[in-house]
Amino acid sequence: MSRLAVVCGGSRGIGGAVALLLAERGCRVVVLSRDQDSARAAMEALPGGDHLSLSCDVSEEQEVQRSFETIQKTCGSVSYLVNAAGINRDSLLLRTPPHLMVSMLHTNLLGSMLTCRAALRSMLRPPGGAIVNIGSVVGLKGNAGQSVYSASKSGLQGFTRSLAKEVASRNVRVNLLLPGFIRTNMTEGLEDSERLIPLRRFGTGQEVAQAVLFLLESQYVTGAELLVDGGLHLSM
């Protein structure tokens, strides 16, 4: 029986690359995205069949609950959860209005908490599963003009470590992946930043997806943080 993988933010970017790789590896994939059309298009492009797409704003508790109830009824128990949904609005703190602070914190941090809670209800009966939260090297090192984004991503570090301790006895593993500059829509216009990266290039969604797959499949790894940044953390 193929594993059921839920990819939040799976319609494009890192999430889209993760969804594609998991489908290629034989998983049945559920693509969650705020935009139903984008989610459906991404799902239809996946190899294999019997995948599912759902419109879901991960920052809204009722939408998350409804989506995972649909997943349980339609597809069964969740084996893998990847939290790749995220937003970024670069700005100095003094220029960041409160509503943007709330939006980033709700999507990047609260959203992962809500989806993890919903997925765990499925993973704990019977026990077993794996979760990968997508953080950022900025959450580890900080960056001027990204204080709120950094706070939302660094919050994932404490959340992931604590949740890993909570559910390890039930054979559920929870890990954190920390990308650097990855070539997606969110990094358009940042090509000059390549000089900061020791490997002198941006990463690809496929390279991040390979690291996600490693964390999902590694049976003796939990509470870990994996940097996929071309060495960027060495120069920050």
Q: Report the CATH number that the domain containing residue 71 is assigned in CATH.
A: 3.40.50.720
Predicted pLDDT of residue 189: 59
Nearest one of 138, 142, 176 to 159, comparing CA atoms:
176
Predicted pLDDT of residue 187: 63
The number of distinct structural domains making up the chain is: 1
Distances (CA, A) of 121 to 118, 131, 168, 210: 6, 13, 14, 27
Q: How many CA atoms lie within 13 A of 101 on its CB side?
A: 11
Active-site residue numbers?
Answer: 149
Using the 8-state DSSP alphabet, how is residue 26 labeled?
A: T
Sheet of strand 129-134: strand arrangement: 52-55, 28-33, 4-8, 80-83, 129-134, 172-179, 225-228
Predicted pLDDT of residue 6: 98
The C-alpha atoms of residue 133 and residue 212 are separated, in whole angstroms, by 9
Which stretches in the chain have pLDDT values below 50?
none
CA 207 to chain CA mean position, Å? 14
Retrieve residue 145's tokens: 């003009």
The C-alpha atoms of residue 167 and residue 153 are separated, in whole angstroms, by 21
Reduced to 3 states, what is the DSSP secondary structure of residue 203? strand
Predicted pLDDT of residue 186: 64
Q: How many CA atoms lie within 13 A of 28 on its CB side?
A: 16
Domain that holds residue 23: 4-234
Q: Please tell me whether the overall predicted TM-score, pTM, comes out greater than 0.85 for this model.
A: yes
pLDDT one-digit tens code per residue, 61-99: 999 999 999 999 999 999 999 999 999 888 999 999 999
User: Does residue 225 contact residue 175 with C-beta atoms inside 8 Å?
Assistant: yes
Predicted pLDDT of residue 188: 64
97 burial via Cβ count (<10 Å: 0-12, 13-18, 19+)? exposed
